Structure 1
Amino acid sequence: MPKDFQALPVVDISGLSSGDPAARQACAEALGRAAREVGFLYVTGHGLAEALFDDLLGQAKRFFARPMADKMACYIGGSVNHSGYVPEGEEVFADGKIDRKEAFDVGQDRPDADGSEPMTGPNLWPDDPAFKAAASAYYAAVAGLARRLFGGFALALGLPQDHFEPHLTAPSAQLRLIHYPFDADAPPDQQGIGAHTDYEFFTLLRGTAPGLEVLNGEGAWIDAPPVAGAFVVNIGDMLEAWTNGVFTATTHRVRRVAEERYSFPYFAACDYATVVEPQAAFVTPERPARYPRLVSGDHLFAQTVKTFQYLKPLRETVGQTAAFGRVEGR
């Protein structure tokens, strides 16, 4: 469990684009400290235009304000790549709890996919060109930022900056547009999202209001409010496994919101067929391999099948045991 931090570190990642190797390494070391000691951080100096976020937020507000019948016209259960509208109650977790939220999920739009990989193919979009344009532009920009962070994490681990590049040809990454409605009558223990770690390598998040909390090593929930212009980045299960626990996937949740909240997490993953297991550089007699071998896309699909109701008929044929055993939701 991470140490008894009381706030998230802030890392300016502009140095990752420097022509000076020493500047890139210094930036990577700061990323590495945050990944080892906390598992969560704020990232600034990323260079993404704020208009991308503003446009996405505006389109998300318009979409979620539509009548339910309009939203259900692009229900995720009608997609071929796990994209589209996710109504409240669609996601049910192992303890039977339902998160107080609705969402719209976007993957890499691949109309040419041959159907051999679950969750890969053309996105299911609403009949709204402006929504599609804003979500697509944001997805592309944050995917580029994720690629830079993969390079920074590689340097922090003593690996070449392009170490992950062979695994990023068509990543199984997902963007979620999440709406947390405010309900003044909700019980005090009603959470937006229950305590969990993320499945993928890491997550990049922008949100509009407080609500995100991170669990420290003393069992205290630490507030992680939005910082203007910054992304929240947190380590996921796969990067923890890849590094044999050198980097930490930290438990987090969204508490009962005190105001309407929108959140846009991008779950950075590698290619579907990428094998995830402790790498030799991080396995020693004193630190034996702690995690099982898995295939990235298969693991993501198995975890998704456990949660989404439209995939319930597949639960008999997809493995039911979580590879890391700590994931409760998203």
Structure 2
Amino acid sequence: MNSTSHSGTPGARGEFFRLPVIDVSGLRSSRLEDRQAVADAIGDAARNIGFFYVSGHGIPAAQIAALRATAAHFYAQDPDWKMKHYIGLGRGHKGFVPEGEEIYGTGRPDHKEAYDIGFEAADDHPQVLAGLPLIGGNKWPELPGFQQAVQAYYASVFALGMQLLQAFALALGQEEHAFDSYVTCPPSKLRLIHYPVDPSAEDVLGIGAHTDYECFTLLLADQAGLEVLNSLGQWIDAPPLTIDGEEAYVINVGDMLEVMTAGAFVATSHRVRKVTTERYSFPLFFACDYATRIRPLPQFAAADAAPLYEELSIGDHMWSMALQTYRYLGEKVRRGELQLPQGARLPSSFGNFAKEEAAVHAATPG
């Protein structure tokens, strides 16, 4: 069973000019050797690039179409109506994110709007009762079919995420289900992102350069715009692909996997540019449970890696990034209503940027 459909293997680590495509249908095989073959291809891409496409994922095209239709229906509504579902209302950090709410690496507001959905947790769930941020129920706008379409898609893409988590375990030489117990009620967020039509937006950032905070991301987009930073400092296009009639997903390593592997898997910096036409993007940010503490696995825990890859709490890291990215949360921090978790990093302190900063620091006398 072939694990790769197209080659994007770099000549040296980070020197890539397109992303590899990996057929992950083998992950559903009853034969461990088939699953291991896919995992090996994923591990190679994670080590050398940090990004890859997956085909053969099996998510129904009808679910994807329904998700797109319901997202378009929501964004066609009046702005005042959409703001009734504002993410800053209530707890849980879920709901509508208006244009200008988020600020990433550029220091400028992003030209997009979004609707954020999370893993459903009932009001009596222990993590909800404990008051953990990012955990709880979702806000569902009163639009026909919205909740049903989004929940069905979330279930499918989350199941794919679990398959990939198991593949990452195999790629790291672990037992296939080694990480399963860390994913019971995670702050894994699905975003329905809409980039409005703006003919003047040529070469204007839609989302500033950043790494993703979670373990990995599963992205489906309908237009080009995503760019990935290679080790030569070049931005490489990662446009939508269709393989054998099926839309491929873009998968990228996040901060958590970089910590777990002490940089062997890299959380590569990326951005969205050239948003000149209407664009929809649906990333699922796959995370482990809030209280999970991530540290380099024993085979990666070299002494010289310790200063850059200290143990990290998944939930605290994600929450600290949100506190530094969303305007409404940043205002609460400035008013003293919220505080950054102890040891919080700056946004984009992983991946390419972390390596650049470390190199500059090492080269600076004194």
2:291 is aligned with 1:273: yes
- Name the SS for the 1:140 alignment partner: helix
CA distance in 2, matches of 1:45, 1:247: 23
Q: Answer yes or no: is the 8 Å Cα contact 1:278–1:290 preserved in 2.
A: no
Q: Answer yes or no: is the 8 Å Cα contact 2:253–2:266 preserved in 1.
A: yes
Identify the residue that residue 122 of structure 1 maps to in structure 2.
137
Amino acid at match of 1:119: L
- Name the SS for the 1:307 alignment partner: coil
- Give the TM-score normalised by structure 1: 0.94
Identify the residue that residue 9 of structure 1 maps to in structure 2.
20
Amino acid at match of 2:269: T
Q: Answer yes or no: is the 8 Å Cα contact 1:172–1:271 preserved in 2.
A: yes
Using the TM superposition, give the Cα deviation of residue 106 of structure 1 relative to its aligned residue in structure 2, in angstroms.
0.4
Using the TM superposition, give the Cα deviation of residue 24 of structure 1 relative to its aligned residue in structure 2, in angstroms.
1.2
CA distance in 1, matches of 2:105, 2:236: 25
Residues 191-211 of structure 1, C-alpha deviation per residue, up to 9 Å, x if partnerless? 111111100000000000101
2:332 is aligned with 1:318: no
Identify the residue that residue 306 of structure 1 maps to in structure 2.
324
> Matches of residues 52-71 of structure 1 in structure 2 within 5 Å?
52-71=63-82
> Matches of residues 18-97 of structure 1 in structure 2 within 5 Å?
18-93=29-104, 95-97=106-108
- Please, which moves more after superposition, 108-117 or 315-324? 315-324
> Matches of residues 92-171 of structure 1 in structure 2 within 5 Å?
92-93=103-104, 95-112=106-123, 113-171=128-186
Using the TM superposition, give the Cα deviation of residue 14 of structure 1 relative to its aligned residue in structure 2, in angstroms.
1.1
2:223 is aligned with 1:201: no
Q: Answer yes or no: is the 8 Å Cα contact 1:28–1:152 preserved in 2.
A: yes
Aligned sequence identity (%): 47
Amino acid at match of 1:117: L
Q: Aligned Cα RMSD in Å?
A: 1.9
Q: Could you say if the C-alpha distance between residues 289 and 321 of structure 1 is closer, same or farther in structure 2, counting changes exceeding 3 Å? A: closer
Identify the residue that residue 291 of structure 1 maps to in structure 2.
309
For these two proteins, the number of residue pairs brought into alignment is: 327
Residues 246-271 of structure 1, C-alpha deviation per residue, up to 9 Å, x if partnerless? 11111111002132100000000000
Q: Answer yes or no: is the 8 Å Cα contact 2:112–2:194 preserved in 1.
A: yes
Using the TM superposition, give the Cα deviation of residue 314 of structure 1 relative to its aligned residue in structure 2, in angstroms.
3.0
> Matches of residues 220-231 of structure 1 in structure 2 within 5 Å?
220-228=234-242, 229-231=247-249
Q: Could you say if the C-alpha distance between residues 182 and 71 of structure 1 is closer, same or farther in structure 2, counting changes exceeding 3 Å? A: same
Amino acid at match of 1:63: F
- Give the TM-score normalised by structure 2: 0.85
Amino acid at match of 1:325: S
Residues 186-237 of structure 1, C-alpha deviation per residue, up to 9 Å, x if partnerless? 3x44211111110000000000010111111111111100012111000001
Which consecutive segments of 4 or more residues in structure 1 shift more than 3 A?
284-290
CA distance in 2, matches of 1:252, 1:2: 17
Identify the residue that residue 232 of structure 2 maps to in structure 1.
218
Using the TM superposition, give the Cα deviation of residue 321 of structure 1 relative to its aligned residue in structure 2, in angstroms.
3.3
- Name the SS for the 2:88 alignment partner: helix
Using the TM superposition, give the Cα deviation of residue 29 of structure 1 relative to its aligned residue in structure 2, in angstroms.
0.3
Structure 2 unpaired stretches of 5+: 1-11, 353-366
Using the TM superposition, give the Cα deviation of residue 79 of structure 1 relative to its aligned residue in structure 2, in angstroms.
3.2
Amino acid at match of 1:71: K
CA distance in 2, matches of 1:67, 1:141: 30
Q: Answer yes or no: is the 8 Å Cα contact 1:83–1:104 preserved in 2.
A: yes
Residues 149-205 of structure 1, C-alpha deviation per residue, up to 9 Å, x if partnerless? 00001001100000111101111100000001121123x442111111100000000
Q: Answer yes or no: is the 8 Å Cα contact 1:198–1:327 preserved in 2.
A: no
- Name the SS for the 1:30 alignment partner: helix
- Please, which moves more after superposition, 158-167 or 304-313? 304-313
2:191 is aligned with 1:176: yes
Using the TM superposition, give the Cα deviation of residue 77 of structure 1 relative to its aligned residue in structure 2, in angstroms.
0.7
Structure 1 unpaired stretches of 5+: none
Residues 94-136 of structure 1, C-alpha deviation per residue, up to 9 Å, x if partnerless? 6531111000000112233325211111111211241111111
Q: Answer yes or no: is the 8 Å Cα contact 1:291–1:324 preserved in 2.
A: no
CA distance in 1, matches of 2:292, 2:171: 21
Amino acid at match of 2:148: A
CA distance in 1, matches of 2:104, 2:221: 23
Q: Answer yes or no: is the 8 Å Cα contact 1:115–1:121 preserved in 2.
A: no
Q: Could you say if the C-alpha distance between residues 86 and 323 of structure 1 is closer, same or farther in structure 2, counting changes exceeding 3 Å? A: closer
CA distance in 1, matches of 2:266, 2:142: 40
CA distance in 1, matches of 2:103, 2:84: 21
- Name the SS for the 1:232 alignment partner: strand
Q: Answer yes or no: is the 8 Å Cα contact 1:292–1:323 preserved in 2.
A: no
